[in-house]
Structure 1
Amino acid sequence: MIPGVNITNAAVCSALTGSDPTAYALVNNPTSATVVGSGITAPGPLTRIPALATLNQQDLSQKRTGLTGALQWRPTSRTTVSLDWVYSELEQNSTNYQVQTVGLNRNNTAANFNTITAGSSAATKRGLYATCTARAATAILDAIDCGQALNGGALVPGMGFSYNPHNLEPYDYYNNPASVGYVANATGTAMRTEFIGRPSVKLIDAKLSPSGANADYLKLGNVDLRSAADAAFFTTYFRQTSLRLDHEFNDNLSMTAIYGKSSSNNKTQGLLADFIRLDSGQGVAGNDYLVYDERGDGDMPLLNLGFDATQAGGWDFVKGYSALRHFQRYTRNDYETARVDFKYEIDNSTAVRFGLSQRKYGFATSEYRRLTGETLNPSLKEAGSNVASVSKVINWGTGLDVPTGTTTAFLAPDLQKMVDLIGFDCNCVNKYGDWRLSYLASAANRYS
């Protein structure tokens, strides 16, 4: 256990133990532990581990459109007017299908969960999960709806904190017997132990690189896995126009005047949905340990998930853990210039040139995201569906020199089916939740 950390919750104690002592000591050599006046600090191992080992396949499509044009007019023998313009449009649709060891990248321990009991208050237990708190809009905050807009201001009958019968708060969902997601639990904190992440991973075996700096072989149990479809749809518009006037006032004095303007605008929409497999790898048939092996200096490490990742029964859209992401980003660059040049020829060998120029640059960017947390979503049970109905199989690694034993196919969310089911891209309030986007969710990403 960790020196100085008080844990009386038996479920947490069990979750944080179980590693092979030799493997644990190898990777967690406490080289950074120090003695201070109040006791021993938590050990600080320096061994690097693959925190987010990922298999990724990108589906990419692009479409380009371009137009150019030019006009020229000579109203007199001494005057020429030229107009040039350019227009281009680039559309790019990208979807990354990925399976990864998300549990190695998350630490969801909590001090009050370490000492929680059956007698702890419901408010304390609720705080261990994702929560929704409604608010009205102000000058600096946008509104958040937790179900009241469509269902009234009363709690869902029988629930302690939920206002939306189609999307209960995670605490109510797991711990209220009236919920379709109820799980019996001695302390009334169902599923919270399963959400812990990296500290609850069991280290079964390990090897270090020759320098000892990296863990280049790991056999792991109790790892949370994530299968995601992460899409971004980009459109960039570019416009440029220039107008030029060349004029000879007489045989000695001439002028060139140019005005130009260009703009580049990019709009991006992002969508993400993920499935989760909690505590994967129990060392049994059909649910074996996860193996990561980069020994042998190959082009890529071996990543064997330890189970058939193509089966719908191996994944879930986990209430309070799985994410639905929707964002919009806008970027604009503007450039404007005006210039006038004069030339006066004194004689055949001498000329005077003078002129004026002005340039103006503009830049602006903004981002819009959900104000409610990305994990405050209905479960598939609440939505009347299941993993098999909203997923697709991704065959990964075709044509690549993939290490023998590496997982080469996995189930991933079908984004369009998730959108059709829940409507999380609507930028609205619907029966399942508040999906409105606001730049105030990430105001620091707004510049102009």
Structure 2
Amino acid sequence: MASIDGAAASTVAAGAVPRDQKATTALIIRKLMPLLVIAYVIAFIDRTNVALAKTHLEVDIGLTAAAYGFGAGLFFLTYALFEVPSNLIMHRVGARFWITRIMVSWGIVSAGMALVQGPTSFYVMRVLLGITEAGFFPGVMLYLTYWFGAEDRARATGLFLLGVCFANVIGGPLGGALLAMDGIWGFHGWQWLFVIEAIPALVLAVVIWKKLPDRPSDAKWLTPEEARAVEARAAEASAPETGESIWKALLGVQSLLAIGVYFCHQISVYTMTFFLPGIIGRWGTMGPITVGFLNSLPWIAATLGAIFVLRVSLDAKRSKALLIAGVLVMAVGMAIASNGGPAYSLVGFSIAASMFFVVQALIFTYPSSRLSGARLAAGIAFTNTCGLMGGFIGPTVMGVIEQSTGAATWGIVAMSGLLFLAALIALGLRRGDEARAA
């Protein structure tokens, strides 16, 4: 992915040949996506690095599997509760200021995780991390609707979600190396992990403040004509403004169907995120770096899926077919992973992960095609809020299952069943542009 160009290349030369739509879209991707992807890499590492620290926290502060699962999930509970107000604020004050604020506050709290001393302080810090990071993901989802038309939104969203893939590919080996610093200057390895991995959020917040334009009309690297064309295409992809109340829009049948699919999806994604390192650790005597490397393999598969499956523009009919197929692939992968052996588990998790972000990118094309203005800001956040409840329920239930049975097998079986249910729910989905064309 290309790097963000310097200031010298950030203005459009007078008299330059006008770019066509395809070239303009490519320029927007080059200018915006690297910065947003890097921010998401940092966000995901900071919210999930407790997975690598799990066994160390059990030894050093007496954290049980159930307490860990509950604390890991608490992040998503408070994150979810604050998403809708956060997105409504961003809609008013602009993406540049609000995303900068989010990054500064979550960086400070993430570093503060190094101070936890027992279950209670662990819960408190996870609650605070959820509050401070709330709004980042739905804020970016809203931000992308300012820049991309209907056929390019899934691709742009898929590129943004690569941040999760990169975070898990990078985060495993990096986290393992930081955990190996145990004892340096009298600090535990997990304390080094939380502090060092929080610093990039504070650094990148400064870059976001300086580089991120609020809207196409603020981008110095677009001509006024190009900016107007971009905003017009983006507006066409959203529903016309109506007098419908926000809550009526959020609780419509199509919104609830999208939420149902996303809820099942998120249970699988975050349960695997928080428990796969522990599952791998039980396969034999391995150091943290080896565990981190093996944990990264399914996320490499997720990266390949997001890059290659979402390369083409997708109309409403093809989006729905791909969404259903992707959820079914996830379900089959989880069923294979539940077989128990290391080889089966890694293959199964990799198959499931290959569709993680294809499915997630497609889900968010549904609310963005049916809502506009403040309703769009609230709708994207509300979809993510309800979906992220799966991020709370999944790890919590998985922790209880693991503690009561001594294995994660039945939790993985349950995830597979939920994904088959999600595929059935997805049959009823219909995008707004499809409905308006009917």
TM-score by length of structure 2 reads: 0.21
Q: Which has the higher strand share?
A: 1
Q: Which has the higher contact order (CA 8 A, sep 6+)?
A: 2
Q: Which has the higher helix share?
A: 2
Q: Which has the larger radius of gyration?
A: 1
